[in-house]
Structure 1
């Protein structure tokens, strides 16, 4: 029997995001883990179990895009949904062009997140 990886790892330095997103993800049928930094995610034992990453773009230390590139170099093919409080269409288009599933502007709607997760898990 094949088990789909339904763990969504959230990497965001904003504590309010780390507190609110797991409840929403659970309501949508996903397990959730949160990390305050890219470095904390890389040091965790959750990389291989993660079916989708929700990454803040701008964080102290390693940024979300830098984490995505690091995982690609490690040959970890995890769909990425970027979230940001300050973004524009050009940045979103660039990140999607680099392989991101979506780039959502905070605050984003539940339906926008659900659609992005559907696309992320549809790729696997």
Structure 2
């Protein structure tokens, strides 16, 4: 059985993927930490301080978007809705420090890959990325 992108193989080496993950979070520490973790899985990253910055960049090259829920301006859910309205099928993973049953229901309606609680569990993020790239 072969290793999936960014997962250690039988020899312990991390397989490098060409897949690009856009990390969108207004908190620079969280954004940089998430990007570093994602790179440790073998994926490439691009970082954005807001949903609007990501949308304005028009980064259609992203294979997946990891976004925070609560940000100034457009929220992570609004980002997902905007991407959908533009016809984008890029997979979206949402992370939040404030999970609620209502949020989980709203997230499910938007067909997110995952809704992850902050602080993000590395194993859950790795699994969500693997599903998104699947």
Q: TM-score, normalised by structure 2?
A: 0.82
Q: Distance in 1 between matches of 2:81 and 2:18?
A: 21
Q: Structure 1: any 5+ residue segments left out of the alignment?
A: none
Deviation at 1:98, TM superposition (A): 1.7
Look up the match of 2:91.
Answer: 79
Look up the match of 1:115.
Answer: 127
Distance verdict in 2 for CA 1:8–1:108, change over 3 Å: same
Deviation at 1:22, TM superposition (A): 1.5
Deviation at 1:45, TM superposition (A): 4.2
Q: 1:52 aligns with which of 59, 64, 75?
A: 64
Q: Bigger radius of gyration, 1 or 2?
A: 2
Q: Secondary structure at the match of 1:50?
A: coil
Q: Deviations over 1:87-106 (max 9, x none)?
A: 12331233023200100010
Q: 2:40 aligns with which of 14, 27, 31?
A: 27
Q: Structure 2: any 5+ residue segments left out of the alignment?
A: 1-16
Report how many residues are paired. Answer: 118
Look up the match of 1:17.
Answer: 30
Q: 2:55 aligns with which of 42, 49, 65?
A: 42
2:114 is equivalent to residue 106 of structure 1: no
Q: TM-score, normalised by structure 1?
A: 0.89
Runs of 4+ in 1 over 4 A off after TM superposition: none
